Amino acid sequence: MKGRYISVVVFLLAASSSIVATLPLSQAATSPELVAVAQGWGLLAKGDAAGAARIASQQLARDQHSVAALALLVDAEIAVGGPAAGLTAYEKWLGARRLENAYVLRRVARTLLSDVAIKQTNTLARVEALKALAADGDAEAMARLDEAASPNRYAETRALAALGNTRAVNLLISQLTTFPGNKAPIIEALGDSGSPLAVPHLKTLLSDPNDVHRSTAADALGRLVARDAADQLQQLLKDQNFTVRLKAAGALIRLNDMSGLGLLTKLSASEHAGVRLAAARELASQPDGAWQTLVRSLTADPDPSVRVEAARLIAPYDQPLASSVLEGLMRDANVGIREAASDVLVQRVAADFTTLRRLLHNSDMMTRVRAAGRILDLTRS
């Protein structure tokens, strides 16, 4: 890990030196800050993090708004104590300021993800970190996912497929015939891939004897907007299994086919909140006023699991409401509810650096990883 930090330092040292070299002589002579910061990077490249931090602190004492000095300080702290130390240094500098420095916060987020990708034994967290880095253009992360993707490494294969990798998509397709037992996770992964290569194979599953396979395939085809599957999906509206009918109706709605609208409208008036929520999920592609009223009512349901999902659904249309609901749920006594609420907050609601920075401290590893990934998303040029 130290080697990775040092390689970053060397690159930034070169960049800092280049900046000084390209300034006019008169300006370069009156830019002691740039010279000092470049010296700090040089110390850090030699392993003298304390010396680099000292120079950065001196420059920040002269100019608290110096981004170059702040970046040096944060990287020096990271070299000693990892991303948590870098975040602490950044937050100490931030103090009562209301304006975040997205550039420096991005550095902390990338380091956190790199640290998880290298050190974390939790496979899901490690793969999520690699996926976020790969989406950010990290060739090493993409190569590691590609190398790991295989029939026996489902998490890596799914992550790579979601990034549009054709080999990973084909691996998942092959598993539809070779994998014994429940194929629902594979079907869901193909739906997440966005690849048209999956469509004919998913259409075949619409006639599978397994109810779960039929319903999951219907949902995946809807997400893939597979219009040539409409006729088969219409036939599933008469299926004996309730979930199959529900998912077929939702898939058709995504295809702008209203064949299943009557069923979903009826379900949305059910006395049972769980049934109303299921209908709301399938109608989410048509978020009219009636749908939003339904979902808002579900955010006040006594069942916290219903409130979490309702907040996820309403977030694109009423972020203050979603945020309020989720903030309350993050204090729920049930750890599963707290983690689910944090996950929705990161992926659907949080679009400000202050909230995401706070989530970098969350006790749940996946929440921290996803918050870091979201910061990269928001700061990507």
Q: CA distances (Å), 349 to each of 140, 154, 342, in order?
A: 30, 28, 10
Q: Comparing C-alpha atoms, which of 293, 347, 290 is closest to residue 318? A: 293
From first to last of its 381 residues, the chain has per-residue pLDDT tens of 444 444 444 434 444 444 333 334 333 434 788 899 999 999 999 999 999 999 999 999 999 999 999 999 999 999 999 999 999 999 999 998 889 999 999 999 999 999 999 998 888 999 999 999 999 999 999 999 999 998 888 899 999 999 999 999 999 999 999 988 899 999 999 999 999 999 999 999 999 999 999 999 999 999 999 999 999 999 999 999 999 999 999 999 999 999 999 999 999 999 999 999 999 999 999 999 999 999 999 999 999 999 999 999 999 999 999 999 999 999 999 999 999 999 999 999 988 999 999 999 998 899 999 999 999 999 997
Strand ranges, E, within the chain: none
Q: What is the DSSP string of 150-214?
A: BTTBHHHHHHHHHTT-HHHHHHHHHHHHH--S--HHHHHHHHHHT-GGGHHHHHHHTT-S-HHHH
Distances in whole angstroms, Cα of residue 381 to Cα of each of 226, 376, 378: 32, 10, 9
What's the token pair of residue 237? 């509206």
**Global pTM?**
0.81
Spatial distance between the Cα atoms of 159 and 292, rounded to a whole number of angstroms: 32
Angle (CA) 202-206-212 rounded to 5° is 95
Contacts of range 153-158, beta carbons closer than 8 Å, 24 or more positions apart: 154/185, 154/186, 154/189, 155/123, 155/124, 155/127, 156/127, 156/130, 157/189, 158/185, 158/189, 158/192
